[in-house]
Every structure is written in C-alpha cells, then in structure tokens.
Amino acid sequence: QVQLVESGGGSVQSGGSLRLSCAASGYTYSNYCLGWFRQAPGKEREGIATLDSRDSTSLADSVKGRFTLSRDNAKNRVYLQMNRLKPEDTAMYYCATTLDYRICVGPPLPEYEYNYWGQGTQVTVSS
C-alpha cells in the first residue's frame, strides 16, 4: 500500500530555514514522479516542486533559488530544503506521487494526475 508521510514543518521567523521530509513506503518511490504542493488558507493548492525517476527536478518560480529538492534512496525519503523563508510561504505542505508517470519534469504534471497524498505538514513563517 502506497503511503506518504510528511514531517519537518514548524514555525520559523522570516529568513529562516526548514527541511521537510516525505517518507515513502509501499512502492519503489524512485521510479515515479513525486511532487510537493502547498495550500495557504483561502487559496488554491499550488505545486512547488517536482522530482522524477531521472532525478530531474523542477521548482516553481515562487520558490526557485530558495528551495531545493533531494532524495535519500536508502531511507526512501525526499527532502524539500526551504531557505530564506517568507511569510507568504506559510501553508500546509503536502507530498504526492503517482504510479502512472515516471517522467514529469518538462511540461509539469497536472495536480489531478497525483493519486497518492500525504497528510501534510504545517509551515508558518512570521515576519
């Protein structure tokens, strides 16, 4: 059974850093696309980072230059390192995956193609 569990969220002041972790189980996660999304109160969910089976990554313009993706295959984890955090980064952060796509960097994979989601981890950035 595919399961994704996010962790690492918390409260931090503007300019600070956090590292989110997405622990994947129940499938060979490195063979498929994995995305990070976030949703702020009253706003639509936004895709911010993608990692595919080629280890190709993409980042949304809103986080490019501040966030980076990495993976640890020994631990079945994908990390989202978030630096220079801003109050507008405050949101619930989710990782998601799909078993239907292995390549998803280039044209972005639509959100509706991700069919397994974690429960989310809250990030709050104060000014």
Tokens representing 27?
């499938």
In this structure, what are the phi and psi dihedrals at residue 80, rounded to the nearest 5 degrees? Answer: -120, 105
pLDDT tens digits in sequence order for the chain, 127 residues long: 999 999 999 999 999 999 999 999 999 999 999 999 999 999 999 999 999 999 999 999 999 999 999 999 999 999 999 999 999 999 999 999 999 999 888 777 889 999 999 999 999 999 9
Q: Is the dihedral of CA 9, 36, 40, 59 positive or negative?
A: positive
Instruction: Supply the pLDDT for residue 15.
Output: 98
Q: Determine the pLDDT at residue 52.
A: 93
Look up residue 110 and give its DSSP letter. P
Measured between alpha carbons, how far is residue 78 from residues 42, 68, 69, 71, 96 in Å?
Answer: 27, 11, 7, 4, 11
Q: What angle do CA 116, 27, 10 make, to 5 degrees?
A: 55
Report CA 105 to chain centroid distance, whole Å.
14
